[in-house]
Amino acid sequence: MTEPDPRAELRDGPELMGDALDARLSETWGDKPGLIGWLRTVDHKRVANRYIVTALVFLALGGVLALLMRLQLAQPESGLISADRYNQIFSMHGTTMMFLFAVPVMEAFGVYLVPLMVGTRAIAFPRLNAFSYWLYLFGGIMIWVAFLLDIGPEAGWFSYVPLSGPQFSAGKRTDFWAQMITFTEVAALAVAVELVGTIIKQRAPGMRLDRIPLFVWSILVTAFMVIFSMPAVTLASSMLISDRLVATQFFNATEGGSALLWQHLFWFFGHPEVYIIFLPGLGFISAITETFCKRPVFAYPLMVAALVTTGLLAFGLWVHHMFATGLPRLGYAFYTAASMAIALPSGVQIFCWIATMWDSRPRLEVPMWWVIGFIITFVIGGLTGVMIASVPLDLELHDTYFIVAHFHYTLIGGGVFPLLGALTYWFPKMTGRMLGNRLGKISFLFTFGGFHLTFMTMHFTGLMGMPRRVYTYPAGMGWDMLNLISTIGAFVLALGVLIFVLNIVLSLRGGAIAGDNPWGAASLEWATHSPPRPYNFAHIPAVTSNTPLWEETLPCFSGLRVEERELLLTTAVEAEPDIREPSPKPSVWPLVAALATTLLFIWSIFSPWAVVWGSIPAAIALILWFWPKDPAEPGKEPVIE
């Protein structure tokens, strides 16, 4: 232990344990203090925290836009916001919420929790992780700066052509939007790849496929959905930029292109996108329900099957966004059937969670309140979804406020409520303190009540014929009172979210200190410190069931190097220990590469030559990033403790 040789074969194990081990591991896995360490970190927890904070900032910004929209719509023929400004506002609201908040925050929770839940020391491809965060941040800043300068997108978050094409969308507004897509999609793809790698190869020994926590399963399915769906929208947005920049004819019907091509490509991504947002939410619910009912979720294999089925089916639904476009009716019948069918796995999952509560004594702590809020809200959203899966119903309801109500019920009920529950549940793990209980309950009540007040009325507004995406409406249509109620509800909802944020701020300083496992949960992330050390686990745990912390003992492995960053890889199905794998050290190249890529992307909005000249700095950054380093010597099999 006193040898100065940096390549000494120091291992975590019987000789080196406790505080001494902690000190050594912290030095190996920790970042240097200060700005340089902060910029160079590849610690998945620090990167995930940044993702979460940034995503919550975008949630707030998107929420402010929503309040502006509701203020404008509170009264008929209101002159508060001009048509152009309103069109930019609703386009930015959708874009911010979908691309800059919802997907990143769900992936961020995956990035934070998955390595901890599977019992490994780091995420796969940690430098790619850092790179993806910077790219996401720069893309988000780009589009928001554009919006604040009156160059924000104006054609909706979905940017249908020909409205978003070169003739009808003048200037660079839509180009900023299309390039923001490229930023966020590259970031999302990168994270998805890391998550799949971590889940398949870095699980703790003994964590067979049937012992993987349900949250990790949901992240696995989500990551695969990202990988298969994101390319469609990146392709579509690239074709749009190409049409607008260099006069290609992809979407020009007169020259043989097709306006419907955009819709197919966009919705082939767009429908899985909402499930990408929704599935991690389901994972949150499973984790919380298991803990507070003190038993594993009912019918685990069925739950996993439901997740996988939802992920697969999600790719067969996209034409239900296009029922009004005049495609053949027989084709529509298939998509109706598929859209109905996807209700089945979700229905099964709802049953299983309630069944978990049935046979136990659920502790109604604040995270469980969010679970109950989720069940009530999401089921309503899912049932209105069954309605609009039907073609005759959808042909009336499409593009009305009924649809707005539906997707807010499913996205907020199925995404945001679980998210807020997850934030409450994992806040102790991430920060070492508990979130305030009373403020938590108050924020739930305001959020839940405000949400229903806002969006339940929209079902009726839609049935009474109010179309979407209108900056104003005539008086005397019967919509006036309903819109006013929605606006009031929106402010109540905003208040609820504000109280939640206040709770976070207050609890960061003065919340009760949480131990390692304040909730008495079963999964591996609760086996380590709160907040976890940079190296996550002093010894790699081994699992013998799917509720490892509720077993008698938690065995662990020892034998990983202490002076080098080293992980244990296991086999994909049986999770038997396989090889030891070095993990990259902190590096500034992900940031540099992200800056170079940002330059390339933003420049290409203005000139096609950017693709040539702009790739040079990006190539240089990548070469320096991947420059080979001395590999650590591969070692022997680790010793089982």
Q: Which of residues 370-409 bind other proteins (CB under 8 A)?
A: 372, 375-376, 379-380, 383-384, 386-387, 389-400
**Backbone torsions φ then ψ of 16, nearest 5 degrees:** -125, 110
- Where in 607-626 is the site for other proteins (CB under 8 A)? 607
Near other proteins in 129-188, by CB under 8 A = 138, 141-142, 145-146, 149-151, 155-156, 160, 162-163, 165-168, 170-173
The sign one gets for the Cα dihedral 7, 13, 17, 23 is positive
CA-closest candidate to residue 288, choices 526, 451, 447, 621: 526
Total residues interacting with other proteins, rule: CB under 8 A = 108
Q: Give the footprint of other proteins on residues 43-72 (CB under 8 A).
A: none
For 178, list phi and psi in degrees, rounded to 5.
-65, -35
Q: Is 571 in the site for other proteins (CB under 8 A)?
A: no
For other proteins, which stretch binds (CB under 8 A), given 190-198, 199-207, 256-264, 547-555? 256-264
Question: How remote is the C-alpha of 630 from its chain's centroid?
Answer: 35
Phi, psi of 574 (to 5 degrees): -90, -10
157 closest CA partner among 204, 98, 103: 98
- Is residue 459 within 8 A of residue 388, CB to CB? The reply is no
Which residues within the stretch 76-135 sit at the binding site for other proteins (CB under 8 A)? 82-84, 87
Task: Map residue 635 onto helix, strand or coil.
Answer: coil
Q: Please list the residues that pair with 617 across neighbouring strands.
A: none
Q: How far is the CB of 308 from other proteins (least distance, A)?
A: 16
Q: Does 468 bind other proteins (CB under 8 A)?
A: yes
Using the minimum distance from each CB to other proteins, give the nearer residue, 333 or 639: 333
Between residues 463 and 484, which has the closer beta carbon with respect to other proteins? Answer: 463
Question: Which of 7, 32, 469, 629 is in the footprint of other proteins by CB under 8 A?
Answer: 469
Instruction: Quote the least distance from Cβ 169 to other proteins, whole Å.
Output: 9
- Shortest distance (Å) from residue 207 CB to other proteins: 25
Q: What share of the chain is helix, strand, coil (3-state, %, to 5)?
A: 65, 5, 30
Least Å distance between CB 30 and other proteins? 26
Residues whose CB falls within 8 Å of the CB of residue 97, separated by 6 or more in sequence, listed in order:
58, 59, 62, 411
What's the residue count for the chain? Answer: 641
Candidates 183, 444, 473, 535; binder of other proteins (CB under 8 A) is 473
Say if CB 192 and CB 227 are below 8 A apart. yes
- Shortest reach from residue 375's CB to other proteins, in Å: 6
Taking CA atoms, 311 is separated from 191, 228, 277, in Å, by: 18, 11, 11
Token duo for residue 179: 């390039």
- Minimum CB separation of residue 534 from other proteins in Å reads 27
Residues between 580 and 599 that touch other proteins (CB under 8 A): 598
243 binds other proteins (CB under 8 A): yes
Cβ distance to other proteins smaller for residue 1 or 149: 149
456 binds other proteins (CB under 8 A): yes
Q: Give the separation between CA 447 and CA 280, rounded to whole angstroms.
A: 20
CB of 291 to other proteins, least distance (A): 16
Q: Whole-angstrom Cα distance, residue 436 to residue 504?
A: 8
Among 14, 331, 478, 520, binds other proteins (CB under 8 A): 478
Binding segment for other proteins (CB under 8 A), chosen from 32-40, 423-431, 454-462, 573-581, is 454-462
- What character string, x for contact with other proteins (CB under 8 A) and - otherwise, covers 342-361? -xx--xx-xxx-xx-xxx-x
The candidate with the shortest Cα–Cα distance to 181, out of 219, 236, 250, 249, is: 236
Kindly state the smallest distance separating residue 584's Cβ from other proteins, in Å: 25
Cα separation of 369 and 355, whole Å?
17
By CB under 8 A, the residues from 283 to 312 that bind other proteins are: 298-299, 302
Q: Minimum CB separation from other proteins for residue 306, in Å?
A: 11
Assigned token pair, 229: 């769906």
Q: Spell out the residues 6+ positions from residue 290 whose beta carbon is closer than 8 angstroms to its own.
A: 214, 296, 297, 356, 521, 522, 523, 547
Of 114, 602, 618, 621, which lies in the binding site for other proteins, with binding defined by CB under 8 A? 602
d(CA 540, CA 542): 7
Distance of CA 263 to the CA centre of its chain: 23
Are the C-beta atoms of residues 288 and 421 closer than 8 Å to each other? Answer: yes
Which residues, including other chains, have CB under 8 Å from residue 254's CB and lie 6 or more apart?
none
CB of 212 to other proteins, least distance (A): 22
CB closer to other proteins out of 183 and 224: 183
**The one among 49, 78, 431, 472 contacting other proteins by CB under 8 A:** 472
Reading the block at residue 171, the tokens are 């200037």
Q: Given the rule CB under 8 A, which of 421-429, 467-475, 613-621, 628-636 is the region that contacts other proteins?
A: 467-475
The residue behind tokens 């850092």 is: 130
- Quote the least distance from Cβ 134 to other proteins, whole Å: 10
Check: CB of residue 570 under 8 Å from CB of residue 578: yes
Stretch that binds other proteins, among 104-112, 268-276, 321-329, 521-529 (CB under 8 A): 321-329
Name which of 195 and 389 has its Cβ closer to other proteins: 389
Q: Is 519 an interacting residue with respect to other proteins (CB under 8 A)?
A: no
Smallest distance from other proteins to CB 211, Å: 20
Is 44 or 398 the residue whose CB approaches other proteins more closely?
A: 398
Closer by beta carbon to other proteins, 114 or else 240: 240
- HSE of 142, CA atoms in CB hemisphere, 13 A: 28
Residue 109 Cβ, how far from other proteins at the closest point, in Å? 25
Please select the residue that binds other proteins; options are 3, 15, 255, 551, rule is CB under 8 A: 255
- Closest separation in Å from C-beta 514 to other proteins: 26
Q: Are 507 and 433 in contact (CB under 8 A)?
A: yes
At position 21, the amino acid (one-letter code) is: L
SS3 66: helix
Sole binder of other proteins in the list 23, 333, 475, 624 (CB under 8 A): 333
Q: Residue 57 corresponds to which tokens in the numbers above?
A: 């900032």
Residue appearing with tokens 């920060």: 431
Q: Which of 14, 331, 467, 520 binds other proteins (CB under 8 A)?
A: 467
Smallest distance from the beta carbon of 456 to other proteins, in angstroms?
6
Binders of other proteins among residues 413 to 452 (CB under 8 A) are: 452
